[in-house]
Chains A and B, each alone.
Chain A
Amino acid sequence: MPSDIHLYWIPLLPLLGAAINLIIGRRLPRWMVSAVACGSVGVACAYTLWLVIGPFYDAWAAARASGGKLAPLVDTVYTWIQAGRLKIELSFLLDPLAAVMIVIVTFVGFLIHVYSIGYMAHDKRLATYFGYLNLFTGAMLILVLGDSLPVLFIGWEGVGLCSYLLIGFWYTEEKNATAGRKAFIVNRIGDFAFLLGMFLLFSGTNVLNIQDLATAGTRLREVPHGGMGMSLAFWSALLLFGGAIGKSAQIPLYVWLPDAMAGPTPVSALIHAATMVTAGVYMVARMSFLYVLAPQAMMVVAGIGAATALFAAIIGFAQTDIKRVLAYSTVSQLGFMFVGVGVGAFSAGIFHLFTHAFFKAGLFLAAGSVMHAMGDKTDIMEMGGLKEKTPITHGVFLVYCLAIAGIPVFSGFFSKDDILLGAYAAELDGWPEWYGKVLWGVLSAAALGTAFYMFRLYFLVFGGKSRADAVTQAHIHESPPAMTIPLVVLAVGATLLGFLGLPKFIGHSFVEQWLSLPESKGAAEASNGLVGALMGGATALALVGIVAAWAVYRDGPERAARITEAIAPLKRLVQNKFYVDEIYDFLIVRPFKWLARGLFWVVDRIVIDKILVEGPAKVLSVLGRAVRAYQNGDVQRYLLLMVIGLGATFYFATCSPPDIVTERGPGNSVTFHALVNDGVARRQTKLAWDFNGDGQTDSVAPDVIFTFDSPGEKSVVLTVTDEFGKVRKIVRKVTVGGGK
């Protein structure tokens, strides 16, 4: 590979485009805004393709020919953070896995940018839109190329931010702004786990660089660093997967994705296909060395993936918003991918991610084209009969539907079957034998559901007669070339790309060789017969789904309405997405609000402020009020008090009775202090101490140290004669001895 390859240009170009459009874009002409945005991503895409197909492929092929391992291309820009043992380089890494991802991101991203020129042609904030879109692409590229977890996390949070900005792009509607915020916060919940995963890895290994972590090997398996009897690898894998759950919209954090429809449609395409949601799957594949050390964690990954795949597919049955159907289908497909990486078929998961990027981007852009034709209506119940009026859109939409349903030849077929095979044949340490079979069963059901609801969507939109009102009908037209060309390109991709991952009884799987990720044992050893049987079964299921959709929806929704009348409550449940949002609201959002308000009023306001802080002040003020009666503003009363005070001071300074203070010294000695007032006439005061009770004066000094003969209780007499000759006698008992 040429040594002067600078990977940082790949994310930097879109970021520069974003900077230009966000800072000065509002003053640029519209064509220039579009040119900057598409140009920056286009150049990044061209550079990526050249790099991956050119030097990088050559290096890969050379390494493969020599039987060696391809050393990843690492480009260190500068040290980002360093403190103590923690050192984070801002460095990028290109290996075959990252190469697949950057191709997807830049290529599909570029098509979406081009499409946006047409789609957003009339929006006032075009520069802002393109700026965000570029930022999104740039963030995703940082995520993909990041060489260490914190750098990956920059992109990880960056795409979260961009989803926030773009979902709430039309912010003047409260609903959109709320959806954007929801996306960000739900993502943050995942990021919380991701951060903890990083902390755990760092505390166990002192590194955060992915390659160093991969070589940390056995330290990751050590139990003491983990806790609860599980290894460090298990907990960190689980926590990192927590991040993936948020980012890739899996149960229980999938709720943000359907709401993310609030953004412009190309943004949905970007989120669902090229960027953002695939990040979770990618991360698990990137950390595959960690996951293979923790089969229990992979069990969780696969389990959640399968559950999500089926759950989202069921919700997809009853949605009537075209984008919402697609959103749930994304959630479902991501579940497939997680099963793929969860059962150890990492390359199958990434392969599905790859093919899904094309047909899902296509589906969303086609949906955008449909909405364009329908005057921004999204309710499929009001569509129908678009087949003739929008032929290109119809054609590509059908291709995408076939791909996602898993009909042979189309790309989704190959990748989905890879996952199904991986699940069926999964044999991991510590897994129950039935687990893989159950996953396979659940996924098959989800695949059947996918075929059904996708073709339901297809028939409702394109089949039958139009159900729209006259005005809308008159408006229906095919979209401009800026929109249709990307659709066609994506359709070609969705059709052909599956051949990169042919099942082994037909040819070799290029994807698998290319990625060379850890592979599941079971899938590699599966017999051709099993592979063929699984494929046949999956195809049959997809066909059943399509036929069922045709039977029910080919003329419109009326027939379905009659069927579902019988199960109306169930339908309502599904239509309302099992009330998950409402349950979250009830269980988490509201209690959180109450907790915050309750704490504020009870702890902050009452306990701390009123009782602890103002309490002492109140006591003082009550005391103050009590003496206030004497302060009536009459100067003469103040004067009287002053005179009394002066008198009292004078009296105590000169006339208070004398006293003795004693302090025991070593042995039998005692120190005596005579407390005689420091009055004007102190000099004339005469003192006489009698310590031993013999009537003789022993000392006349005010401070005396006297040593007694023996310990015990003694009686000391002090005679004070003041200046007026008045004599006072003070008798004091002291205990002598036992001092220190």
Chain B
Amino acid sequence: MSDIFWNVSLAHYLALAGVLFAIGVVGALMRRNALIVLMSVELMLNAGNVTLIAFARRLQDMRGHALALIVIALAAAEAAVGLAIVVSVFRATRHANVDRLTNLKN
């Protein structure tokens, strides 16, 4: 018991990543505010990062680190674009409620 609890192994990292990802998915699916949806997406990306780093450590393979860095960079870019869209949507509609943004329908 204590072994599992104290000895941080690969499984812990993966569990953390899984929980983070689940939170992200649920957040992205459930929350109404576009900002929070964006943050949830960030969570999912970071869950991926955690997995990458964990395996990189375990397998002693630097490619995982490189990939994680790329994901971080992409996440930054995505956040910038996403926020810009949210701002412009807010300007146009005076709200950022995803439920009411159903322009895709047409």
The reply to whether the CB of B103 lies closer than 8 angstroms to some CB of chain A is yes
CB distance from A650 to the nearest CB of B (A): 13
The reply to whether the CB of A631 lies closer than 8 angstroms to some CB of chain B is yes
B residues less than 8 Å from A633 (CB atoms): 101-106
CB of A636 within 8 A of CB of B98, answer yes
Residue of B nearest to A638 (CB): B104
CB of A632 within 8 A of CB of B29, answer no
List residues of A (611-648) whose CB comes within 8 Å of B's CBs: 631-636, 638-640, 643
CB of B25 within 8 A of CB of A635, answer no
CB of B105 within 8 A of CB of A636, answer no
* Cα–Cα, bound, A635→B28 (Å): 10
A residues less than 8 Å from B28 (CB atoms): 636, 639
How many chain B residues have a CB neighbour from A under 8 Å? 13
List residues of B (73-106) whose CB comes within 8 Å of A's CBs: 98-99, 101-106
B residues less than 8 Å from A643 (CB atoms): 25, 29
A640-B29, A643-B25, A643-B29 as given contacts; A635 in contact with B105, CB under 8 Å: no
* Cα–Cα, bound, A633→B105 (Å): 4
A residues less than 8 Å from B103 (CB atoms): 633
* Cα–Cα, bound, A725→B101 (Å): 49
* Cα–Cα, bound, A638→B28 (Å): 11
List residues of B (29-54) whose CB comes within 8 Å of A's CBs: 29-30, 37
CB of B29 within 8 A of CB of A636, answer yes
Q: How many A-B contacts if CB must be within 8 Å?
A: 29
A639-B28, A643-B25 as given contacts; A632 in contact with B98, CB under 8 Å: no
* Cα–Cα, bound, A631→B30 (Å): 17
Contact of B37 among A631, A632, A636, A638 (CB under 8 A): A636
A residues less than 8 Å from B29 (CB atoms): 636, 639-640, 643
CB distance from A680 to the nearest CB of B (A): 12
CB distance from A147 to the nearest CB of B (A): 73
CB distance from B45 to the nearest CB of A (A): 14
A residues less than 8 Å from B106 (CB atoms): 633
Residue of A nearest to B30 (CB): A636
* Cα–Cα, bound, A636→B103 (Å): 13
List residues of B (1-59) whose CB comes within 8 Å of A's CBs: 25, 28-30, 37
A residues less than 8 Å from B104 (CB atoms): 631, 633, 635, 638
A639-B28, A643-B29 as given contacts; A631 in contact with B105, CB under 8 Å: yes
B residues less than 8 Å from A635 (CB atoms): 37, 98, 101, 104
B residues less than 8 Å from A640 (CB atoms): 29
B residues less than 8 Å from A636 (CB atoms): 28-30, 37, 98-99
B residues less than 8 Å from A631 (CB atoms): 104-105
* Cα–Cα, bound, A643→B105 (Å): 20
CB of B37 within 8 A of CB of A634, answer no
* Cα–Cα, bound, A425→B103 (Å): 96
* Cα–Cα, bound, A643→B25 (Å): 8
* Cα–Cα, bound, A643→B98 (Å): 18
CB distance from B3 to the nearest CB of A (A): 21
* Cα–Cα, bound, A58→B103 (Å): 97
* Cα–Cα, bound, A178→B10 (Å): 96
Q: Report, nearest first, the 4 A-B pairs whose CB atoms are least far apart.
A: A633-B102, A633-B105, A633-B104, A640-B29
Question: Can you list 19 A-B contacts with CB-CB less than 8 angstroms, sorted by A residue number?
Answer: A631-B105, A632-B102, A633-B101, A633-B102, A633-B103, A633-B104, A633-B106, A634-B98, A634-B99, A634-B102, A635-B101, A636-B30, A636-B37, A636-B99, A639-B28, A639-B29, A640-B29, A643-B25, A643-B29
Residues of chain B whose beta carbon lies under 8 Å from any beta carbon of chain A: 25, 28-30, 37, 98-99, 101-106
Please give 18 more A-B residue pairs, beta carbons under 8 A apart, in addition to A631-B104, A632-B102, A634-B102: A631-B105, A633-B103, A633-B106, A634-B98, A634-B99, A635-B37, A635-B98, A635-B101, A635-B104, A636-B28, A636-B29, A636-B98, A636-B99, A638-B104, A639-B28, A639-B29, A643-B25, A643-B29
